[in-house]
Amino acid sequence: MRDRFSQFMVGRHGNDQLNLFLLAVDAVLLIVGSVFGGSAAGRVLMALAFALLAVIYFRMFSRNTVRRQDENSKYLRARYRVLGKYRCIRERWVQRKDYKFFTCPSCKATLRVPRGQGSINIVCRQCGDSFKGKT
């Protein structure tokens, strides 16, 4: 049976990160739709969840792999833009004991300087602007 399914999936797109995200959204829609039960909102959410499940299966079994990879790469770029801001905040939080962060007054770039150096002259690597800061 496994060999037959493997043979069936040859040339098809399969699962990717966008499908996994859509599956998580689908699970949330199903749970919220089942909480609202027989109400109109519950029926709409359940219908939306099943339509999303159809999209997931369509993407998984699609033979147009170039188009599906393009959709996935657009999703990954958007996810990186959103999560990149939180990643920077987290990295600054982890490094707060060893480094002090400054913002360049001219180009607004974030600069990292080791703590414990006293009052120093900081030079921006991007624009070359120089300013004083206390670490």
b/e 69-101 (16+ beta carbons within 10 angstroms → b): eebbeebeeeeeeeeeeeeeeeeeeeeeeebbe
Interval 77-129: pLDDT, tens: 999 988 988 888 899 899 989 999 998 988 888 899 999 888 999 998 888 88
Q: Which of 119, 121, 125 is nearest to 107 (CA)?
A: 125
Kindly report the pTM of this predicted structure.
0.64
What average pLDDT is seen over the chain?
A: 89
Please state the length of the chain: 135
